[in-house]
Chains A and B, each alone.
Chain A
Amino acid sequence: MEGLELASEESTTARAGKGAIKSMSEENKASAVTQFAEARELKAAAKVTFGHGARHLVGTGLEQSQVENAIAEQVQATAKAASSTGSFLGKVVVEGQEVYYRAFTLPDGTINIGTYTVGAP
């Protein structure tokens, strides 16, 4: 598959939590580890992959990277705020043009953007 892949990011909060465990008593370690794991799960950005929507940008003046970065940013924000994502349609505005995309959540949590178009599909 062609396109952009955004790696998962471990949050600053999660990294700080990992170091703090060293100075804790044994009884608090298990709890801290659990909290760290939860924080990491909550803060990790979903991996976003792209199919062949880029060819629909021909003649629009938009660049693949700017469009796909905007979509990835919005999809990751949506995924962070939602308990589950499934399949959904979305819209971003890039350089004043509306770009509509179709997102599909895969079993491993990756969100694949099957296609996108400039203007309402």
Chain B
Amino acid sequence: MKPEIRFRRPNDAEKSLLERLLEADFPARNELAPMLSELLVRTIDDDGSLELQSQISGAAAVVKRIPVEAEAMDEDQIVIHVLLHTKDGRPSELEIFREDGSPVRQMPPASKFELIVLPPIPSPRRELNPR
């Protein structure tokens, strides 16, 4: 897959993957859903990662940069990770990579991806009753 200069409509496989991610229950999911249904994309690396440009205005109240992610096995059993990135409450990137860093061989169908919603990383403990 070659990086692209121009934004375009997502293809069926890309749409399916984005829709699969929305099957998870995570904070701001309902606000992100319409943004992801109307967007333009641009391939940005050999793995098929996408830069996302939603055509819907607004910002979702996400609590994490990566509100949802997914993983599935490539044809050689190496795990492929898919991460939905947001920036300022808007979808910004669909990042795709294999754990071993080599190019994805055969992207599995969206239905094969297991959904993951990681808890937010805790902020440093605040001192109680500071004096």
Which residues in A have some Cβ–Cβ distance to B below 8 Å?
Answer: 1, 49-52, 55-56, 87, 100, 102, 104, 106, 112, 114-115, 117, 119-121
A87:B99 contact, CB within 8 angstroms: yes
- Cα A56 to Cα B83 in complex, Å, equals 13
Tell me the bound Cα distance from A73 to B82 in angstroms: 26
Q: Is the CB of B64 within 8 A of A114?
A: no
CB <8 Å contact, A1 and B65: no
Q: Given A120-B121, A121-B66, do A1 and B95 touch, yes or no (CB 8 Å)? A: no
Name which residue of chain A comes closest to B92, CB basis.
Answer: A56
* Complex CA–CA separation, A55 to B50 (angstroms): 12
* Contacts known (A52-B45, A52-B95); A117 close to B100, Cβ less than 8 A: no
User: For chain B, what secondary structure do more than half of its interface residues adopt (helix, strand, loop), or is it mixed?
Assistant: loop
Provide the bound-state CA to CA distance between A115 and B45, in Å: 13
Q: B49 touches which one: A49, A52, A100, A119 (CB < 8 A)?
A: A52
**Interface of B toward A, CB cutoff 8 Å:** 44-45, 47, 49, 64-66, 81, 83, 85, 95, 97-102, 118, 120-121
A1-B102, A104-B100 given; 19 more Cβ-contact pairs under 8 Å: A1-B101, A49-B101, A50-B101, A52-B45, A52-B47, A52-B97, A56-B85, A102-B81, A104-B99, A106-B99, A106-B100, A112-B100, A114-B99, A114-B101, A115-B81, A115-B97, A120-B64, A120-B120, A121-B65
Q: Measured between C-beta atoms, what is the minimum distance from B72 to chain A in Å?
A: 14
